[in-house]
Amino acid sequence: MTSLLDDLTETTGNAFETLGLNRMLGAVRVSDRPDLAQFQCNGAMAAAKQAGKNPREIASDVVSELQKSPFIDKLEIAGPGFININVKADTLYKYAIESLSDNLGIDNIGQGAKVIFDYGGPNVAKAMHVGHLRSAIIGEALKRAYNFAGYDAIGDIHLGDWGTQMGMVISELENRHPDWPYFDDSITEFPQESPITLRDLEEIYPAASAACKQDEQRLEQARQATVELQNGRPGYRALWKHMVEVSIEAIKANYARLNVHFELWNGEASVHNLIAPMVQDLKEKKLAVTSDGALVMHVSKDSDSKEIPPLILYKKDGAVMYGTTDLATLLEREKYFQPEKVTYVVDKRQNLHFEQVFRAAKASKITPEKTDLTFIGYGTMNGTDGKPFKTREGGVMKLEDLIKISHEKALQKMNEANITGKFDEAQTNDIAHKVSIAAVKFADLQNHPNSDYVFDLDRMTSFEGKTGPYLLYQAVRINSLLEKADQDDITAHQDNLPEHLVSQEIDLLLHLTQFSENTLGVVKNNSPHVLSDYLYKLAQNFSSFYSNCHIMSEENDVTRQFRLKLCQMTRAQMVAGLNILGIDVPEKM
Ligand code: ARG
């Protein structure tokens, strides 16, 4: 079903057309003066200009046409020719109730088109840190919104498992344990069990990285190890495999805590075998050329206002680069999925890298012309001091630690709000977990991805204000109310609405008609903040309805049933909307 706003636009467009005016001018939007009207159409002014007429006169002709429509309640002309529109309560109800249907009343705009989201990017052998948080949160929400909008959206983690960091760790291990079988070229069978644990890696990688920074020769050794790994040296490959397995276990645990899930667990290494033939092809097409001993693709254009450097395919030493694997990954994605769209959710500082990759993919036709490649670059997560978020000691915080401190903070806030008393320890921890994830995610998602935002743990875990915990609290409150209500009691239907609705009921009902367009708004703007705002306002509308209207104690049957129905719709949208944002609602709180 189309949304109320779309249908109003259609009706008003028809009215314009009947009067010989451009139907596009009949666009209707939600009023920016809700105190005056529910909806408005501002097209009369432009139409008057085109027709050389008085705008109020045009508005009045449109109003006469609109009056014929059965769902219009009240029309008014304001100022120079704004048309204010109010809709009948039973019409509002008819659209709002769609959110209780299977697809929640969300228009299918995707029609099954395939979209791939690349929003992981954690690196093997390195601990996940806060830098990976925004990608996970935003990417997961976008992917879910696309799926609700009828797309076939899948997420690919795209592990960083083929870069110099692998060579750094391997060469470090070789220096420390030259006697290990992995470094003896006469050996071809290697132990099943990993000789290193995750804890070991947490010490080894920073040590290796620091050593390489200080000493050019040590770095050269790491580069050499990277090339040999990529070329398939058996001992290195075996050691690499251990590192991938050990790291993936931790990576999976982190994402599971965040309620973030990937359909594809591919990495940079997965496409290694595609690289040689791909590069051969690029050479034959004269798109790949040698420059200073490296093999590159020139991607700059005359129209560029700043310099776009070439994409390096092979370094002088023969190692493949970050861009090479990204290009080969696009080749693979085309081969298996022929996606309509590939969307990357990565730190905005990688903008140039993706510009290079996208240009190379299009120039070589690795990605067909019609396929949309989108880069969503997210901004920085700052601390309360306004500078990039750091630990107290000034280091980069591990993701695991961030999840831990958020959990503790959530527990503290629950105690302050007297939420913990009724539950045993396991239940309390489960609720605190959901509260903390809601807090962290909602604080991010209410902003446009491009903008920076402040990670203020104290504020975001509060049960008041524009926070995740506030939304959870509202959802749970409705839950317990509906649990108390007898299911037989919630039978309101359209032709049995109360004769008179109070303003809080109308406001809530009107808001409830806008769920579809706000979910689709996430897709159209590639930004979950649209739905986040909608849900926050829904909670506010519900709250004022709840404090002004009796529900269970209401004596009039029709009114009580209708109010329970409002609760039911609010709950359905709140739970589904939060689910799209990747936020789980606890049963009780
Ligand atoms: N591993 C990269 C990093 O840590 C992020 C990967 C982003 N995705 C991609 N397809 N390049 O910076």
Q: In this prediction, what percent of the chain has a pLDDT beyond 90?
A: 91
Beta-bridge partner residues of 373? 342
Give Cα 320 to chain centroid, integer Å: 30
Q: Evaluate: CB of 172 within 6 angstroms of ligand 1.
A: no
Q: Which atom of ligand 1 approaches the CA of 163 most closely?
A: 1
State whether the beta carbon of 126 lies less than 6 angstroms from ligand 1: no
Neighbours of 47 (CB within 10 A): 23
Q: What is the pLDDT of residues 322-350, one digit of tens each?
A: 999 999 999 999 999 999 999 999 999 99
Ligand 1 centroid – CA 270 distance (Å): 14
Of ligand 1's atoms, which has the minimum distance to the CA of residue 131?
A: 4
Q: Which atom of ligand 1 is nearest to the CA of 160?
A: 1
**What is the predicted pLDDT for the residue at 488?**
73
DSSP one-letter string for 317-365: TS-B-HHHHHHHHHHHHHHHH--SEEEEEEEGGGHHHHHHHHHHHHHTT
- Let me know: does 263 contact 153? Beta carbons within 8 Å: no
Q: Write down the pLDDT at residue 308.
A: 96
Contact 576, 519 (CB under 8 A): no
DSSP conformational letter for 433: H
Q: Which residues is 186 bridged to in the sheet? A: none
What letter represents residue 292's amino acid? Answer: D
Q: Looking at ligand 1, which residue's alpha carbon is closest to its atom 6? A: 121
Q: In what order do the strands lie in the sheet with 311-314?
A: 288-291, 294-297, 311-314
* Residue ID of nearest Cα to ligand 1 atom 3: 121
Domain boundaries, the chain: 4-87, 399-580
Give 118 Cα–ligand 1 centroid separation in angstroms: 9
* Ligand 1 proximity of 118 Cβ (cutoff 6 Å): yes
Q: For residue 490, what pLDDT is reported?
A: 81
Protein residue with least CA distance to atom 5, ligand 1: 121
pLDDT, mean of residues 87-91: 95
Pocket residue to mutate for ligand 1, from 158, 264, 352, most atoms within 8 A of Cβ: 158
Is the predicted pLDDT of residue 524 greater than 80, yes or no?
Answer: yes
From the CB of 346, is ligand 1 less than 6 Å away? yes
Instruction: Specify which residues 155 forms β-bridges with.
Output: 117
What would the pLDDT profile of 350-395 be if each residue is shown by its tens digit?
Answer: 999 999 999 999 999 999 999 999 999 999 999 999 999 998 888 8
**In a mutational test of the pocket of ligand 1, which residue from 123, 254, 350, 357 has the highest number of ligand atoms less than 8 Å from its CB?**
350
Q: CB neighbours (10 Å) of residue 293?
A: 10
Ligand 1 centroid to Cα of residue 153, in Å, is 19
d(CA 82, ligand 1 centre) in Å: 49
Q: What are the tens digits of pLDDT across the range 182-233? A: 999 999 999 999 999 999 999 999 999 999 999 999 999 999 999 999 999 9
Measured from the CB, is residue 468 less than 6 Å from ligand 1? no
* Residue position matching structure tokens 């579809």: 516
Using the mean position of ligand 1's atoms as its centre, give its distance from the Cα of residue 530 in Å: 26
Break the chain down into helix, strand, coil percent, rounded to 5: 55, 10, 35
Q: What is the rounded distance in angstroms from the CA atom of residue 462 to the CA atom of residue 19? A: 54
pLDDT of residue 131 exceeding 90, the answer is no
Of 145, 108, 115, 109, give the one whose Cα is nearest residue 371.
115
Answer yes or no: is the C-beta of 160 below 6 A from any ligand 1 atom: yes
In this prediction, residue 412 has a pLDDT band, given cuts at 50, 70 and 90, of very high
In this structure, which amino acid lies at residue 311? Answer: L
Q: 55 to each of 23, 47, 179, 333, 454, how far by Cα in Å?
A: 16, 7, 88, 53, 46
DSSP single-letter state for residue 29 = E
Residue of the CA atom closest to atom 11 of ligand 1: 326
Distance 444 CA to ligand 1 centre (A): 20
Cα torsion angle, 385, 387, 389, 390, sign? negative
Contact 77, 83 (CB under 8 A): yes
DSSP 8-class letter at 116: E
Instruction: Give the pLDDT of residue 494.
Output: 77
Residue 31 CA to ligand 1 centre (angstroms):
42
How far is Cα 206 from Cα 168, in angstroms, rounded to an integer? 10
pLDDT of residue 422: 83
Q: Residue 2: phi, psi to the nearest 5? A: -75, 165
Tell me if 515 sits within 8 A of 534, measured CB to CB.
yes
DSSP E strands, 257-340? 288-291, 294-297, 311-314
Residue 240 clears pLDDT 80, i.e. is over it? yes
Show the tokens assigned to 160: 């960083």
In the block, tokens 């630690």 appear at 401
Strand partners, 289: 296
pLDDT of residue 491: 81
Burial code of 523-544, b = ≥16 C-beta within 10 A, e = fewer?
A: beebbbbbbbebbbebbbbbbe
Distance CA 243, CA 202 (A): 11
What distance in angstroms lies between residue 355's CA and the mean position of ligand 1's atoms? 14
Work out the burial of residue 444: count CB atoms within 10 Å of its CB; fewer than 13 is exposed, 13-18 middle, 19 or more buried. buried
121 lines ligand 1 (CB under 6 A): yes
Q: How far apart are CA 515 and CA 581, in angstroms?
A: 14
* CATH number for the domain formed by residue range(s) 399-580: 1.10.730.10
Atom of ligand 1 at shortest distance to CA of 350? 12
Regarding the beta carbon of 156 and ligand 1, being less than 6 Å apart is answered no
Six-digit token pair at 139?
């990417």
- Give me the amino acid identity at 307: E
435-487 per-position pLDDT tens digit: 999 999 999 999 999 999 999 999 999 999 999 999 999 999 999 999 988 77
**CA of 268, closest atom in ligand 1:** 10
Please name the helix (run of DSSP H) or strand (run of DSSP E) that holds residue 117, with its range, or none.
strand 114-118
Residue 494 phi/psi, 5-degree rounding, is -50, -45
Say how far apart CA 267 and CA 437 lie, in whole Å: 26
158 lines ligand 1 (CB under 6 A): yes
pLDDT single digits (tens) 17-26:
999 999 999 9
> What CATH number matches the domain at 4-87, 3.30.479.30, 3.30.1360.70, 2.40.320.10, 3.30.420.40?
3.30.1360.70
Does any ligand 1 atom lie closer than 6 A to the CB of residue 356?
no
Task: pLDDT band for 492, please (50, 70, 90 cuts).
Answer: confident
Q: Which of 344, 345, 352, 367 to mutate to test the pocket of ligand 1 (most atoms within 8 A of CB)?
A: 344
Mean pLDDT lowest among 91-95, 414-418, 492-496, 572-576 = 492-496
